[in-house]
Amino acid sequence: MGAIQGIGVDVVDVKRMKMALDAWGPPLIKKMFTDTEVAYCNSAKKPHEHFAARFAAKEAVSKAMETGWSGKFRWRDVEVVNEPSGAPKIILHDFVAGQLSQCRVHLSLSHTENTVVAFVIIEKLE
């Protein structure tokens, strides 16, 4: 059993995410989300809810790492996918993957029509 290295939580207003997506469109999506995330979100009835959930997860990881969005941390370094069961899972890339190579990242997501909550625990493996 590992030790907790960090925890992070983020709450996103779904309507605000929809407004941002409508205003900035493809350039914003390309900057923040991987191709896999975009395909998943766009296949949903209400894509903006799923984009909001993935955005919240990325923010929660940055908070758990205590880095914020400074330095080498990039939006697309944190990817949210779904297990066959539907459970969300984090896949790390590039800088973040290197920083957390000895860790497991746990993610819980919950959302309503209006609000998304993401909770992340970074577990240091022993």
3-state secondary structure the chain: CCEEEEEEEEEEEHHHHHHHHHHHHHHHHHHHCCHHHHHHHHCCCCHHHHHHHHHHHHHHHHHHHCCCCCCCCCHHHEEEEECCCCCEEEEECHHHHHHCCCEEEEEEEEECCCEEEEEEEEEECC
Least confident range of 16-20, 71-75, 111-115: 71-75
- Domains, the chain, in order of start with CATH, read 3-124 (3.90.470.20)
pLDDT of residue 126: 78
pLDDT of residue 68: 64
The answer on pLDDT for 72 being more than 90 is no
Residues annotated as catalytic are 63, 111
Average pLDDT over residues 47-75: 89
- pTM passes above 0.85: yes
